[in-house]
Amino acid sequence: MVEALAVCGSPQASIARVLGIDAKTLRKHFRDVLDTSADKADAQVAASLFKMAISGKSAAAAIFWMKARRGWSETNRLEHTGPGGAALPIDAARALLRNVAKSRPPEDPDETPLTA
């Protein structure tokens, strides 16, 4: 009972209440169970996730595994540079914004076109 409750994350005070004992008594007699239950639960979940990831049936599990364990990310990075990779001068950036604003009509009639 102690392990079943501890593995689910129940607080020690709640476990003690269920058993009808004091929390100090719980810790005295079940110290090892209380100390290892969370690790055992994490190991079971990790094993389950790993099986799903390698089965080929759960792309989400595989993607999560790679993000959590191998640093994969979905971050897109867009950099604007001038000629030869140099910094884009502010005047050139403003001109580009003006050209983009002029080349498309506003989607919303109340939308004000971009100006620099």
* Run of H or E including 35: helix 23-55
Alpha-carbon separation of residue 27 from 22, 24, 31, 39, 112 (angstroms): 9, 5, 5, 17, 66
Using pLDDT thresholds of 50, 70 and 90, give the confidence band for residue 4. very high
Q: Taking residues 98-116, what's their average pLDDT?
A: 65
Q: Which pLDDT band, with edges at 50, 70 and 90, does 29 fall under? A: very high
- Rounded to whole angstroms, how far apart are CA atoms 30 and 83? 69
**pLDDT (mean) for 43-72:** 94
Question: Is the predicted pLDDT of residue 112 greater than 60, yes or no?
Answer: no
Average pLDDT of the residues of the chain: 87
37-52 confidence digits (pLDDT tens): 999 999 999 999 999 9
Provide the percentage of residues in the chain whose pLDDT is more than 90: 60
pLDDT score at 62: 94
Tens digit of each residue's pLDDT (9 = 90 or more) over 73-98: 888 777 777 778 888 888 888 888 88
